[in-house]
Chain A
Amino acid sequence: DAGVIQSPRHEVTEMGQEVTLRCKPISGHDYLFWYRQTMMRGLELLIYFNNNVPIDDSGMPEDRFSAKMPNASFSTLKIQPSEPRDSAVYFCASRVAGEGGLAKNIQYFGAGTRLSVL
Chain B
Amino acid sequence: GESVGLHLPTLSVQEGDNSIINCAYSNSASDYFIWYKQESGKGPQFIIDIRSNMDKRQGQRVTVLLNKTVKHLSLQIAATQPGDSAVYFCAERGTTDSWGKFQFGAGTQVVVTP
Chain A positions within 8 Å of B, measured between CB atoms, are 4, 31, 33, 38-45, 48, 50, 55-56, 91, 93, 99, 102-103, 105-112
Give the B interface residue count (CB, 8 A).
Answer: 23
> Please, could you name 14 A-B residue pairs with CB atoms under 8 Å apart, sorted by A?
A4-B43, A31-B100, A33-B100, A39-B5, A40-B6, A42-B107, A43-B44, A44-B104, A50-B100, A55-B100, A105-B99, A107-B46, A109-B44, A112-B43
Closest partner residue, chain B, to A3 (CB atom): B43
Question: For A102, what are the chain B residues with a Cβ–Cβ distance below 8 Å?
Answer: 49, 51
Q: Is the CB of A106 within 8 A of B46?
A: yes
Question: For B3, what are the chain A residues with a Cβ–Cβ distance below 8 Å?
Answer: 40
Chain B positions within 8 Å of A, measured between CB atoms, are 3, 5-6, 32, 34, 41-46, 49, 51, 89, 98-102, 104-107
Minimum CB–CB distance for B78 against chain A, Å: 21
**With A41-B6, A55-B98, A91-B43 already in contact, 8 other A-B pairs whose C-beta atoms are closer than 8 Å:** A4-B43, A42-B104, A45-B102, A56-B100, A91-B44, A99-B99, A103-B49, A108-B46
Minimum CB–CB distance for A91 against chain B, Å: 5
Q: Is the CB of A93 within 8 A of B6?
A: no
Minimum CB–CB distance for B10 against chain A, Å: 14
